[in-house]
Amino acid sequence: MAEPNKWVPRNPELPGAEDGSVSKESALAACFAMALFYVAVLYAPTYVLRLAPASSLNTFMIRRFISVIFASLASILLCACLLPVRNYQGASLILSICGIRLDHLGRAVAIPLCLTSLFYVGSVVSRLLSFSDAWEQEELHQEAYLVRIFKAASQKLVDDAHFVVLNILAWRNYVVAPITEELVFRACMIPLLLCAGFKAYSIIFLSPIFFSLAQIIPFQLKIGSASGSGPPPAHLNHLLELYYGQKYTFSRAVLIVGMQLGYTVMFGWYASFLFLRTGHLIAPIVAHIFCNMMGLPIVFPNTQKAFVFSSFLIGCGTFFILLFPATSPDLYNSNTKHCRCWHEFCSWGRTL
């Protein structure tokens, strides 16, 4: 009898399912379908359910939250159906495959968060320099100034907490988008691609491509439609806003959006790397939330450009030095069985 934690093919005689693996064509088609559905479902309230236009931003965003949660659950179901896992192994094993685990949870949160923060050393230094300049220009007594700083920092903390709790866009940026995007584009896609026999480095570069394609295709459909409402996908919508709304030149608008899209793609590579190395979905989620909070790293500020840029380079250098040691699978798994990833993913396409 097979060990309970071993992968067993449902039907090895199916085409492309030799040794229990998923065919590459099936895995790619499933990943593309999940990516497309994740974005297309945002238009379901208008085009499918024929709901009346949202009366407020909150209503509009709540509809979208429900849509992407539904898309995420559908992606998990599709992943569970395609992976060669026996039915009796249950939902707990599927959740574990998707990186939804409680073991080593503290490390999976703290270490990737500290690692990600190294990219923002320049941003931190820039803010400290701004604080230093304000300190030098302050004419009041230092003790009084420190009290004012403490009160201002406390008030900002309260205001930020209030903003996050009550602002619907904060829920989108810091809760719904990071969790659902990482669940679909990392937790559901990566196991399928591994099971299909794709190498880890190929998967790291493939994952952001699915997201980019899914962003473009609904936009093309939207442009070709003469009816309906709702904004096009985020990056392309921003391009139109800069060009038509803020009257930027087309080349400058493309440059700005291109930099943002490039940053998004690079983060996709990094998030996929974190998921592959740690086996924890929480690792790319906390990195995603942190990056959304920090925005683009500050490289060339208005003042002290050389010092801030040097700090940025030092942070990036430290990041790359620690990248592999800080994401070693042994830190996040009790027993890797001398395998370079968790759940023996690297052997899925060969010995299941």
Residues involved in catalysis: 181, 235
Rounded to a whole number, what is the distance in angstroms from the first to the last CA of the chain? 14
Provide CB contacts within 8 A for 117, sequence distance 6+: 290
d(CA 85, CA 7): 6
Rounded to 10 deg, the angle between the 121-137 and 305-326 helix axes is 140
Question: How many C-beta neighbours within 10 Å does residue 177 have?
Answer: 18
| Cα dist from 63 to 56, 66, 74, 182, 272, whole Å | 11, 5, 17, 20, 28
DSSP string, 144-169: HHHHHHHHHHHHHHHHHHHHHHH-HH
CA distance linking residue 79 with residue 72, whole number of Å: 11
Unique residue bearing structure tokens 């099936």:
26
SS (H, E, C) 15-44: CCCHHHCCCHHHHHHHHHHHHHHHHHHHHH
| Of residues 170, 207, 217, 169, the one with CA closest to residue 36 | 217
With CA atoms as reference, report the closest residue to 203 among 268, 263, 132, 259: 268
**Degrees, nearest 5: CA angle 13-15-18:** 60
Exposure class string for 67-89: b at 16+ Cβ within 10 A, else e:
bbeebbebbbebbbebbbbeeeb
Which residue type does 257 have?
V
Structure tokens at 147: 């009290």
